[in-house]
């Protein structure tokens, strides 16, 4: 590439994610962005710099629906476990249907019932020894120096019997990882650092909770190498600043949304323009629905408060 990331940002084209106008050298990364870069630098560029559209798929929508339901259930922080009915209601309330477009009704029902089964199993496992969450979806921003910030949110933080903290990240993978893989998790290392910043103490343990097979893989804090995690993040940050975005073909390439834009595949895969049109149409429909609802609510307020009433929402 001939132009620098700073040049693209100033000219109004997509820049490196998180680069601010006041500080063009600053990088805001997350685990998913670092992980994407390590799997394929060109995919990182397509997703976060060029911001090419991607196609919603059933696995992503299904996983996000389960995740949202778990967040809503645990976020109640009640002294007693909320009933399983509230967890299933949360699934209904937060169901993401976008990835199931074009799928017939019976297939959608199969996906939905599978999600219900996963959540029932989660409830049956954790309700008997329920402990209210310390936090759910806890946002953090870690300043690593050298104008690098790592941001993210921790799914679930719980109090341990000793009064310490346990960190949990929910996963909807069908297959659980090994203890060795969990110990080497960059994501959990980042969360360990974040916990120390947020609560002034590192967690007693961290875990990946694989909700589909119903297995939580937990490791002690001593098994997490936060020093190596910082090295890896800074290496990725340096490569991004150097604009090294070469493709890295892997066995996952057939499922990449941007094969048509990748020089390795020379036009194979979904057309990016066509995907953009579909997303644009979907967003326009959503905007129209939102505007109609706004008008409805504004009229309701005027009916109650008078025609001269104005509504201001911060």
Radius of gyration from C-alpha coordinates of the chain: 22
Question: Is the Cα dihedral 128, 133, 139, 145 positive or negative?
Answer: negative
pLDDT tens readout for residues 66-101? 999 999 999 999 999 999 999 999 999 999 998 898
Residue for token digits 């020093």? 227
Residue 289 confidence class, pLDDT cut points 50, 70, 90 = confident
Least confident of 56-60, 157-161, 284-288, 302-306: 284-288
Helix (H) / strand (E) element for 65: namely helix 58-74
Strands (DSSP E) found in the chain? 27-29, 133-143, 148-159, 165-171, 205-210, 215-220
DSSP 8-state assignment for residue 49? I
What's the pTM? 0.79
DSSP 8-state assignment for residue 79? S
The two structure tokens encoding residue 114: 């599978």
Rounded to whole angstroms, the Cα distance separating 157 from 203 reads: 9
């Amino acid at each position: 590439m001939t132009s620098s990331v700073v040049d693209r940002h100033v000219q109004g084209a997509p820049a490196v994610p998180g680069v601010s106008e006041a500080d063009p050298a600053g990088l805001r990364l997350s685990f998913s962005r670092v992980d994407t870069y390590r799997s394929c630098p060109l995919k990182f560029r397509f997703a976060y710099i060029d911001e090419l559209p991607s196609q919603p798929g059933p696995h992503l929508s299904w996983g996000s629906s389960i995740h949202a339901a778990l967040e809503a259930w645990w976020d109640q922080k009640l002294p007693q476990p909320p009933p399983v009915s509230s967890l299933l209601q949360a699934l209904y309330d937060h169901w993401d249907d976008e990835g199931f477009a074009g799928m017939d009704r019976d297939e959608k029902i199969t996906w939905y019932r599978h999600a219900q089964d996963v959540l029932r199993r989660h409830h049956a496992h954790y309700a008997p020894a329920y402990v209210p969450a310390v936090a759910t979806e806890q946002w953090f921003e870690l300043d690593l120096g050298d104008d690098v910030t790592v941001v993210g949110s921790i799914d679930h933080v719980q109090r341990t019997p000793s009064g310490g903290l346990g960190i949990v990240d929910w996963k909807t993978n069908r297959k659980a990882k090994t203890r060795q893989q969990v110990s080497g998790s960059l994501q959990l290392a980042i969360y360990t650092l974040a916990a120390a910043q947020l609560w002034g103490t590192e967690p007693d343990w961290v875990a990946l909770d694989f909700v589909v097979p119903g297995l939580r893989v937990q490791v002690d804090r001593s098994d997490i190498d936060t020093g190596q995690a910082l090295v890896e993040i800074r290496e990725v940050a340096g490569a991004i600043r150097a604009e090294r975005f070469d493709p890295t073909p892997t066995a996952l390439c057939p499922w990449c949304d941007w094969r048509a834009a990748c020089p390795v595949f020379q036009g194979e895969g979904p057309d990016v323009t066509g995907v953009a049109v579909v997303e644009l149409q979907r967003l326009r429909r959503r905007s129209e629905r939102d505007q109609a609802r706004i008008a409805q609510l504004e009229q309701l307020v005027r009916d109650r408060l008078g025609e001269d009433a104005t509504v201001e929402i911060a």
